[in-house]
Copies of this chain bind each other. A is one copy, B any other.
Amino acid sequence: MFDSGIGGLTVAAALRQLLPAEDIFYIGDTARVPYGGKSAATIERYSMEISGLLLAEEAKLIVVACNTASALAVPRLQETLRVPVLGVILPGARAAVKATRSRRVGVIGTRATIYSRAYERAIQDLDPEIQVLSQECPLLVPLIEEGWLDDPVSDQVIGRYLDQLVKDQIDTLVLGCTHYPLLRQSIKRFVGPQITLVDSADNCALAVKDLLRKQKLAAPKTNLGRLRVAVTDASTGFLHVAEKALGLQVGDVQLRTVQSGTPN
């Protein structure tokens, strides 16, 4: 699995819990993080390059644990790579469709994710009656990486971003970025108990389980799966925030160099 950085460890945590027999190799493209403000062409190129590293590790399945890359690069990866590729958009969309009663769903994410309208399309493919209201939230990732997870400044930024969605009476909010679950408490405080928060992590793990079963790729149940983490830049300050908040045992982190060019 890969992410633009370390935020995708929220998805790794869900996978570890549901599929303890599977070996997970996680790579965070910290040398080029963040993807969320960059163009579709750049995000697609980076996703192809990082996938090359995963193929070199003999991945049997690639999970794109980054909403931005899922929104913009998964179709290209699915077309090009020789292994199945799963993103986090469809699992998140399914969770939203299941949760909404009023059929008014809010989606928050990075600028690139929101501009792509990937959630909107995925949700409306599942139920064309659902109204999707979207809001880009560029400051949330930096606030989370600074570790201001339960902080009045984060509360105010969240209030600024979410105010209109609440006024528009959504009943379900998709946390459309793998970092955002780390701000769940603060978001919950602002939107109140009437709005259901959904994220992709658990649903993505279910989709992975399903696909491994269907394609007969699942590891033997007796296997003791492990999580290995690699990054493309050695500077991993945020890793400690993520480890602590997720209760995830990360251990030694490897450093990898990303190659320019496309895998096949």
Contacts and interface: CB of A to CB of B under 8 A. Distances in A.
A262 interface: no
A37 B237 contact: yes
Assign chain A's interface to a size class.
Answer: 20 to 34
Contacts of A156: 152-153, 156
- The listed residue with most B CB atoms (<10 A of its CB), out of A42, A111, A145, A237, is A42
Interface string A133-152: 00000110011011000001
A31 B42 contact: yes
A39 interface: yes
A203 to B, nearest CB: 29
A85 interface: no
B111 A234 contact: no
Interface string A219-239: 000000000000001110100
Chain multiplicity (copies): 2
A233 B42 contact: yes
Interface string A144-186: 0110000011001100100000000000000000000000000
Interface string A25-36: 000001111000
Contacts of A146: 138-139
Interface in A48-107: none
Nearest to A31: B42
Contact of A142 (B38, B139, B237): B139
- The listed residue with most B CB atoms (<10 A of its CB), out of A32, A111, A259, is A32
- The listed residue with most B CB atoms (<10 A of its CB), out of A112, A138, A142, A157, is A142
Contact of A37 (B38, B138, B235, B260): B235
Contacts of A39: 233-235
Nearest to A112: B235
29 contacts: A30-B38, A31-B32, A31-B42, A32-B32, A33-B37, A37-B145, A37-B235, A37-B237, A38-B233, A38-B235, A39-B233, A39-B235, A41-B234, A42-B233, A42-B234, A42-B235, A111-B235, A112-B235, A138-B142, A138-B146, A139-B142, A139-B146, A152-B156, A153-B153, A153-B156, A153-B160, A156-B156, A259-B260, A260-B260
